[in-house]
Amino acid sequence: MQPSHIPTRRYCYVANNLRSGMMSNMAGRTPLNRPQAGNQTTYDVGCGRPYRTGVTFQPAEADKIVRAANRMGYSVSGLINELTKRMVVDNQGLPVWYEAPEERQQSLIA
């Protein structure tokens, strides 16, 4: 007799690392942690729908958030929601811990 439901689970997603430790921008894709050129992140609060995103974590951060979520009985999405609720922002909407890169560094990023 075969089980009616076989659970599946993605345990690990692996991307190619460069020697510098940064993820590659395969096929001209935008590097991790940077918005796509000309694609500002937006959300219409009035739409009433949840905001859905795909999040990519480096291995150490992936281990940390998955372990924490599991220990709390949360999904990773649920944990990110709870962290966001508790994130303190300044008058400009920036997290209080954020330090903007120097102008010289900003020109190198762009």
10-residue stretch averages of pLDDT, the chain, 110 residues long: 51 46 53 69 88 90 97 96 97 94 63
The pLDDT assigned to 102 comes to 78
Rounded to a whole number, what is the distance in angstroms from the first to the last CA of the chain? 59
Residue 1 lies in a domain: no
Q: How far is CA 88 from CA 45, 77, 81, 82, 95, in A?
A: 19, 19, 13, 12, 6
Residue 19 lies in a domain: no
Residue 16 lies in a domain: no
Is residue 39 within 8 Å of residue 33, measured between CB atoms?
A: no
Domain count, the chain: 1
Residue 7 lies in a domain: no
The pLDDT assigned to 41 comes to 79
Q: Which domain holds residue 56?
A: 26-109
